[in-house]
Structure 1
Amino acid sequence: MAADEIKLLVDVAEGRAQADTLFTNAQIVDVYGQRVVRGRVAVADGAIAGVLFDDRDGAVPDPPAAQVIDCEGRYLAPGFIDGHLHIESSNVRPAEYARMALARGTTTAIADSHEIANVCGLDGLAFMIEGARRVPLDIKFMMPSCVPALPDEQAGASITAEDMRAFMGEHPGEVFGLGEMMNYPGVEAADAETLARIDAAAATVSGVVDGHAPLVAGADLNAYVASGVIADHECTGPEEALDKLSRGMYIMLREGTCSHDLEALSPVVLENPLRARRCCFATDDRAPSDALAIGMIDNACRLAVERGIDPVLAISMGTLSTAECFGLDHGHGGPLEHRGAIAPGKRADLLLLDDLSFERAPHRVYAAGKLVAEDGLFVGDVAPETARVQELEATLRGSVRLPELSPEVFSYDFQPGSAVIDVIPGNAITRAAHPDSSEGLRRIMLIERHGRGVAAQAAGADGTGPAGCGLTGTHIGRGWVRGFTITGGAIASTVGHDSHNVCVVGDNPHDMFEAVRNVGQGGFVLVRDGAVVAKLALPLGGLMSDGTAEDVAREHDAFVQAARAAGIEPPLDPIMGMIFLPLPVIPTLRIRPEGVFDVTTFTYAS
């Protein structure tokens, strides 16, 4: 921090210089002292210069201020920090995501853009970074660590440790840390490239390595933590969470649209509230319809309070704990970098709350001291798109390159006792089942869409039979799923973590064929009786819309309604519940272009 910046904050704190804004008559949520106390807060140049608590500082006069905001007894809390998320999974561009997040009180987002990077490589990350410059949400971009998620995944790009360092050299100060290290087998085996990627984190702003290690335990967990990974958002229960917390990891209680882990993990904090200092909140993947209607980190706070966690402690988990995890409460940078609490020398990311139930959006949201949202509506500024943003956006279009397909490739028989993906609604993990019949099952397929199948057909690998049949087991994976109860139709999607090949689930081959045929250049398609009944177009990388968050939310809601009519019942989300089925780094069974894959053994199931 420059000397003149220090001087301004000191002079404002001492009353020698005028503050930009003085908040008075506030009930300050003190996350350090774990209390609520009336007081005043002075802000200058986007940072907090002074905090005056009425119980000790009542006699201290108000510092002069250009603007005085009477909080009228409302609660004044730090802005929320989302510890782990993928903007692309909300199917909107960074500017639209920022409008949603700020309206619900999230002022900092730790974003891993490995979704678009798996499709478009580092140009995708560059697009996200450039797009985020337009908005007042402070988005900290992590370098995707596992593109592809596994070395043999059929993704659209590959990013090596050397590529990471080159990108960071070209974009100094713009990569905050290393994104979730999903290749835990590579860590455990001390794979040279995997360790080189972890080492590349030293060139990021924070040096932090985020994690992803579902069900990893014992010696494997020791190896994973010893490599430098600091956090995990994939815990499946309180015992697993405590096992990792006791080894020094931060635990992220994920509450997204597909994965609802907060209820299962809350006993970790309820049993001993001191553990909350190492527990954070994250959304991971949040649909715009849920973000706008229910909330984001504010929703996690609401659910935490409903589970019995003290409201001030819940706010601490959504602010200070996350800041400490990523080194944002002190250390590198100056006051505009430090955050997570209402304290002198911290960024003035502030929430005015009517109460601590989190039933409603914040009354007001301030980002770096500027008003950006009121009562759930974004009121801040979004800068126009630059030529560079438009140039990068153009590279994201036209990403779907499917091989030629025939209806016959979608028709195959069930073999009794075969491995079946067993969906667990509300949870990212699946189970393995081996039923004797196909009753209650649906076909599931994953079709490579980044050009490998096209090249294979050009080379004659498809043979002389119906188009696509010769690619099964290499570029077209076929299997069966239980619990995804679509009836009389099929859903196809170009979003399928993390390689984002085309996933299709249905109860009849004809509708599955039609759904895939209609995905175009990206999106979700629902077909019933041969006709498209719902569609959400995602032309940017097959992941993001070029419309507004509100548009996407409406289309998402319409899609869900049509899927409910087709037999998909809550709590399963027909979109978010589908996009995780190809993810080969979360147990137990997944669909890949080669077939059904057992994540616990890293072998193909039969």
Structure 2
Amino acid sequence: MNVDLLIRQANVFNTFLKQFEVKDIGIVDGKFFFANTMDWSTVNIKESMDGSGKYIIPGLIDIHMHIESSMVPPSIFSKAALTHGVTTVVADAHEIVNVFGLEGMKEFFKEDTEMDIFYAIPSSVPSTTTELETTGGVIGLDEVRALLEHPRVIALGEAMNFKGIVHEPDSLIRNILRETQIKRPFLPIEGHVPDVTGEDLARFLFAGITADHTQQTPASIYEKISNGIFVELQKKSITKENIDVINDHQLYEYTAIITDDIMADDLIEGHLNANVKLAIACGLPVEQAIYMATYTPARRMGFQDRGAIVSGFQADFIMLDELEAFTIDSVYKAGKKVHQKGEPIGYPEQKPSFPSHFYQSVQGKAWKREDLQIAVSGEKAICNVIQKSDVGTFTKWVQREVAVKDGYLDWEASGLSLLVVMERYGKNGNQAFALVENGLKDKGAIGTTWAHDHHNLMVMGTSAEDMIVAQQELLREHGGYVVVQDQRIIANCALPIGGILSDAPIQELGRDLQTVRQAMVDLGYVNTNEIMSFSTLSLPVSPAIKITDRGMLDVRTHEIIPFIEKVIQ
């Protein structure tokens, strides 16, 4: 018998006992052959190494994430995430699909990666309906049927349309859920279930949704798990209070650690491993943290060949120097070393390539000052306003009084920020306005085409001149993230592929995005994740009030909220 790699006397994680044992590991043809102490003298060993003092755990498995959040294609993402011990992901590519439809998904399938990337069908493209937001692509029943036949599709991506799921039995999302259950009755169905409780939660379950990854509280974790929902913990849900309820009630079997969204600048520093370390710091026992980042996610997605170190499983594993600190020495994929501590993040041998129209996807007319003027026939106006939170992505619906000057709303002197979403696919030319409280404190503007999930062009500012510069730059470079002050671009992260991706090395992209992030902070934008906070002001399925190219929406009812509630003469 030939053994490709033998690792002797390492501390090996036993998934089923949730403890470490000193063992030898033999690897044959990319799979674990044996994990125990035995007589290897009769075996032909190609390579042997001493694992004494090292800790070996299965490769990390992230079952709910969006590659596009890293702002790079799958091949570049794979190189970066592997350095952090992530060997398998299940990606919901609803960002690229919102821009290019099924074509975007097919282009992702073509990408060659070392990491195993499986996919969830984007179930909510658009996240609401075509009447409420304009997207470049739409996923309907025909597209779902086609994707259900693809061998790398192993789940239905997060179902997000609250009204369609709870109140409209004949909605597109309900039809997609039914079609999935008929064609692939055992396919995991992911949910987007923020701040949903009681009867509404029961309606989500009744529709077939069995998991939630949104922001949690101790009460929501307990209610959801006790009602059969599998809870996936992203960073903002990994708090001491939430970990306490998991520990107190021994809820480890029904939870997994995931990322959901990791920005390019953060990806340089860590991925799922960073959330594992955070969970340990918040009080999760290290063995349970490993279990919840390897085996429970594997079981959730039905993997029968990974998530544990046992004979016959794929030899994806991490060698750790220190257990509690979770410091990675090396990463192995299918028995081959793909990263060694100290090595830089690599770049694919072949630069990612997409169809030419993927690089020319942002359309629209350049703004002039009159495009940002809002005529009002009165002295004052009571405006409906989006109140941005300093933590997380939830918002509140408030009303504020704004003065009128020379027949136009004097928003620049209001202490609020003007937010504009412009349809950028060349379909209808829609443009919607909102005012934001707790936006920018100083004079300037922020603009992006990375606007969840429709990815229209979005600009927020306290100066019309700065907003115009931001919008025109986004049109010129066909997408990105820009910050403008005094009519000068002070930070720019170009995203020319569909307005949401770049093929630049992750180190360069991360540097540019970090510059944008700092520029936002310098203008007074406050949030624990500035990029995600701004980008989700346009996400009409995240509580409580958001904006699309059609206008402001009440996320629960999907009613359009008027910009001006009342004019005072």
Gapped regions of structure 2 (runs ≥ 5):
403-412, 563-569
The answer to whether structure 1 residue 480 and structure 2 residue 447 are counterparts is: no
One-letter amino acid of the counterpart of residue 267, structure 1: D
Q: Secondary structure at the match of 1:453?
A: coil
Aligned-pair distance for 1:80?
Answer: 0.6
Residue number in structure 2 paired with 1:284: 260
Q: Secondary structure, in 3 states, of the residue corresponding to 1:498? A: coil
In structure 2, what is the equivalent of residue 317 of structure 1? 292
Alpha-carbon distance change, 63 to 268 in structure 1, aligned in 2, over 3 angstroms: farther
SS in 2 for 1:377: coil
What's the CA shift for 1:532? Answer: 1.2
User: Could you tell me how far apart the structure 1 residues matched to 2:57 and 2:436 are?
Assistant: 45
Please say if 1:268 is aligned against 2:225: no
Compute the displacement of 1:211 (Å). 1.0
Q: In the alignment, does 2:20 pair up with 1:36?
A: yes
Cross-structure match for 2:311:
344
Partner of 1:147: 125
2:299 equivalent to 1:363: no
Separation in structure 2 between the aligned mates of residue 426 and residue 80 of structure 1, nearest angstrom: 28
CA contact (8 A) 1:276 1:313 kept: yes
Q: Normalising by the residue count of structure 1, what TM-score does the alignment of the two structures yield?
A: 0.85
Taking the aligned partners of 1:264 and 1:127, their CA distance within structure 2 comes to: 41
Q: Deviations over 1:548-604 (max 9, x none)?
A: 11111111122223223322345342x222111100011011012222211123212
Structure 1 pair 368/34, CA: closer, same or farther in 2 (3 Å)?
same
What is the match of residue 434 of structure 1? 399
Conservation of the 8 A alpha-carbon contact between 1:261 and 1:427:
no
2:157 counterpart of 1:179: yes
TM-superposed deviation, 1:403: 3.7
Structure 1 residue 377 corresponds to structure 2 residue 343: yes
Q: CA deviation at 1:354?
A: 0.9
Residue-by-residue CA offset, 1:118-177 (whole Å, 9 max, x unaligned)? 01011101111111xx221111111111111111221111111112213454xx313222
Percent identity at matched positions?
29
Distance 2:350 2:422 in 1: 37
Alignment partner for residue 7 of structure 2, among 15, 23, 42? Answer: 23
SS of alignment partner, residue 277 of structure 1:
helix
- Map of 1:588 onto structure 2: 544
Distance in 2 of aligned mates of 1:50 and 1:354? 22
Q: Is the 8 A contact 1:85 1:285 kept in 2?
A: yes
Taking the aligned partners of 1:165 and 1:158, their CA distance within structure 2 comes to: 14
- Shifted more, 190-199 versus 72-81: the winner is 190-199
Q: 1:334 corresponds to which residue? A: none
Match of 1:497 among 427, 448, 452: 452
d(CA) in 2 for partners of 1:371 and 1:529?
A: 50
CA contact (8 A) 1:85 1:284 kept: yes
CA gap of 1:199–1:104, structure 2 versus 1, over 3 A, is same
> TM-score, length-normalised on structure 2?
0.90
* SS of the residue 1:38 aligns to: strand
**CA displacement at 1:270 relative to structure 2:** 2.7
Structure 1 residues 322 and 224, CA gap change in structure 2 (3 angstroms):
same
Distance 2:242 2:364 in 1: 41
Deviation, structure 1 residue 193: 3.0
Alignment of 1:89-100 (within 5 A): 89-100=69-80
Q: Aligned equivalents of 2:536 and 2:120: distance in 1?
A: 21
The answer to whether the 8 Å contact 2:134/2:423 transfers is yes
Quote the residue 1:530 is aligned against: 487
Task: Give the whole-Å Cα distance in 1 for the aligned partners of 2:550 and 2:170.
Answer: 24
**Deviation (angstroms), 1:339:** 1.0
Aligned to 1:227: 207
Provide the rounded CA distance (Å) in 2 between the counterparts of 1:413 and 1:433.
Answer: 21
Aligned pairs (5 A) from 1:100-499: 100-131=80-111, 134-151=112-129, 152=131, 153-169=133-149, 172-188=150-166, 189-191=168-170, 193-201=172-180, 203=183, 207-255=187-235, 259=236, 261-263=238-240, 265-272=242-249, 274-293=250-269, 295-328=270-303, 330=304, 338-358=305-325, 360=327, 362-375=328-341, 377=343, 382=348, 384=350, 390=353, 392-412=354-374, 417-436=382-401, 440-454=415-429, 475-499=430-454
Shift of 1:187: 2.2
Uncovered stretches (5+) of structure 1, i.e. residues with no partner: 1-16, 331-337, 455-474
Distance 1:62 1:156, change over 3 A: farther
Task: Find out whether 1:48 has 2:47 as its counterpart.
Answer: no
State whether residues 372 and 381 of structure 1, in contact with CA within 8 Å, keep that contact through their aligned partners in structure 2.
no
Alpha-carbon distance between aligned partners in 1 of 2:388 and 2:9, rounded to the nearest angstrom:
51
Q: Distance in 2 between matches of 1:221 and 1:579?
A: 27
SS at match of 1:373: strand
1:172-211 Cα deviation digits (max 9, x unpaired): 3132221111123222222253233124435569722111
Task: Give the letter aligned to residue 341 of structure 1.
Answer: A
